[in-house]
Copies of this chain bind each other. A is one copy, B any other.
Amino acid sequence: MNEHISDAVIRRLPGYYRHLRELEKEGITQISSTELGELMGQTPSLVRQDINCVGGFGRQGYGYDVSRLKNGIGEMLGLNRKHCMIILGSGSIGSAVARYPSFAKEGFETIGMFDIDPARIGCTVANICIEPLDHLEAFCSSHVVDIAVLAVPAEAALETAERVAACGVNAIWNFAPVDLKLEAKHVEIVNVHLSDTLQVLSYKMEHPQT
């Protein structure tokens, strides 16, 4: 297995996992790179390259074993273990993440939610009581927190991220509309820019494929 998997391949892994899980549910046990490519909207050759990167799981001409490939990719994605998340900011985005049903199903469980707005503190979102941000440090020393979801305004993002990192949280899923970078190298960050996919759609409208 290639230890240096490119970001482009990593970003496609969740898609493979999703399609393979659907195929497994439908009772399909084998799939060719051509069929998987059609589901992914990729060429069969790229599918074979990607799957070689993650460790093979097939033999030329035989296709892939759906369950083995799904489980292999799932393990690489860390989906075989539970992740505890806290959400910083209880506005629309923070609340949508807390309420999104499939995260918990996939092992990403929200265990705490924090805000600075006195009007929101004490309210409940998806059975989680919103606590004041001042409780963050105490909460993190008494709970294992794997991931902090940043759903604060852009101008509060860096400060909040640094505070979370100082609490020993090693992963930040950032919804604030900034490209967050931290000095602390041990903190993994994924910046989500909701506008980006909207702009991709807008591009496709401007340049329809004929």
Contact with B along A173-210 (1 / 0, CB 8 A): 10001010000001011101111111111111111100
Contact with B along A140-184 (1 / 0, CB 8 A): 000000110000000000000000000000111100010100000
Contact A197 B173 (CB under 8 A): yes
Cα–Cα distance between A204 and B92 once the two chains are bound (Å): 27
A196 CB contacts on chain B under 8 angstroms: 11, 14-15, 18
Cβ of A31 < 8 Å from any Cβ of B?
no
Contact A190 B201 (CB under 8 A): yes
- Which single residue of chain B is at the shortest CB-CB distance from A97? B194
Known: A93-B96, A199-B14. A206 touches B173 (CB 8 A): no
Known: A190-B197, A195-B14, A197-B173. A202 touches B96 (CB 8 A): no
A23 CB contacts on chain B under 8 angstroms: none
Known: A14-B195, A18-B179. A171 touches B201 (CB 8 A): yes
Contact A199 B17 (CB under 8 A): yes
Contact A10 B200 (CB under 8 A): yes
Instruction: In the complex, identify which listed stretch (A56-64, A100-108, A127-135) lies at the interface while the others stay far away.
Output: A100-108
- Which single residue of chain B is at the shortest CB-CB distance from A75? B206
Instruction: State the interface size on chain A (CB cutoff 8 A).
Output: 59
Select which of B97, B186, B189, B208 is within 8 A of A188 by beta carbon.
B208
A172 CB contacts on chain B under 8 angstroms: 201
Select which of B95, B96, B102 is within 8 A of A195 by beta carbon.
B102
- Which single residue of chain B is at the shortest CB-CB distance from A93? B96
Cβ of A99 < 8 Å from any Cβ of B?
yes
Contact A171 B204 (CB under 8 A): yes
A119 CB contacts on chain B under 8 angstroms: none
Excluding A39-B179, A95-B96, 19 further A-B contacts by CB distance (< 8 Å) are A11-B196, A14-B193, A14-B195, A14-B199, A15-B196, A18-B179, A18-B196, A76-B206, A77-B202, A77-B203, A79-B199, A83-B202, A92-B96, A93-B100, A96-B96, A146-B205, A172-B201, A173-B197, A188-B208
